């Protein structure tokens, strides 16, 4: 009765461990290896039949008869020994399951930490993307304004150059007129001098 309860408890522990192991294939592989090693160590020379009289099946009964005779005491000793072995195996299985579950919890904690860091990184990236978008818009606006000012400056310079050329042309024309006028006046002055010299009274 105690052995059966231990085995049932072990089965329940196994079910709980299996639910946790579905998260990590490597942990499941380690548990399978451990369980296989444990089960290979467990011998079950005694097999109880399904009949209601509690008879023992052939090969095991012959083995017990050879070792203990026909008495019931040897069979009970063998049953208690098998029960103790099963409980030991159950305890080893439960220990392995606890270890695997602990490893799974540690891995879950590490995964949560990585996910938290990833979330923070994503938030930071989104923040910097927003800043970049704002600064990019400002830069584009400054570029457009600068190009507009540069265009106006170029237009103003072109107008000033045209005005300068026009003024220079006009001044050249005025200077030329002045030269022509001076030459004309000098010619008239020379002619007047000749007339004055020719008509002067003798002394």
Give per-residue pLDDT as tens, 110-149: 999 999 999 999 999 999 999 999 999 999 999 999 999 9
pLDDT at position 148, please?
95
- Let me know if 107 is exposed, middle or buried by CB neighbors in 10 A (0-12, 13-18, 19+): middle
Q: Which residues of the chain have pLDDT under 70?
A: 1-77, 79-80, 199-203
pLDDT at position 195, please?
86
pTM: 0.36
Do the Cβ atoms of 7 and 90 come closer than 8 Å? yes
pLDDT at position 84, please?
77
Do the Cβ atoms of 60 and 47 come closer than 8 Å? yes
Neighbouring residues of 3: CB distance < 8 A, sequence distance ≥ 6: 82, 83, 84, 86, 87
pLDDT at position 183, please?
95
The structure tokens listed for 62 are 């012959």
Buried b (16+ CB within 10 A) or exposed e, 121-151: eeeeeeeeeeeeeeeeeeeeeeeeeeeeeee
Cα angle 130, 135, 139; round to 5: 150
């Amino acid at each position: 009765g105690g052995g059966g309860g231990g085995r049932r408890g072990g089965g329940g522990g196994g079910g709980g461990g299996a639910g946790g192991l579905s998260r990590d294939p490597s942990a499941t592989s380690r548990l399978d290896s451990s369980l296989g090693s444990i089960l290979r160590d467990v011998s079950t020379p005694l097999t109880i039949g399904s009949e209601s009289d509690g008879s023992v099946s052939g090969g095991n009964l012959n083995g017990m008869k050879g070792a203990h005779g026909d008495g019931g005491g040897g069979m009970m000793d063998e049953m208690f020994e098998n029960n103790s072995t099963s409980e030991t195996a159950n305890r080893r299985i439960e220990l392995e399951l606890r270890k695997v579950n602990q490893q799974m919890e540690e891995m879950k904690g590490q995964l949560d930490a990585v996910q938290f860091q990833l979330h923070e990184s994503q938030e930071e990236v989104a923040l910097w993307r927003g800043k970049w978008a704002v600064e990019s818009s400002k830069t584009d606006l400054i570029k457009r304004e600068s190009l507009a000012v540069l265009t106006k400056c170029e237009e103003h310079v072109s107008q000033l150059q045209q005005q300068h050329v026009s003024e220079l042309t006009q001044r050249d024309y005025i200077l030329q007129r002045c030269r022509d006028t001076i030459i004309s006046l000098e010619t008239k002055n020379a002619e007047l001098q000749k007339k004055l010299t020719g008509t002067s009274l003798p002394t």
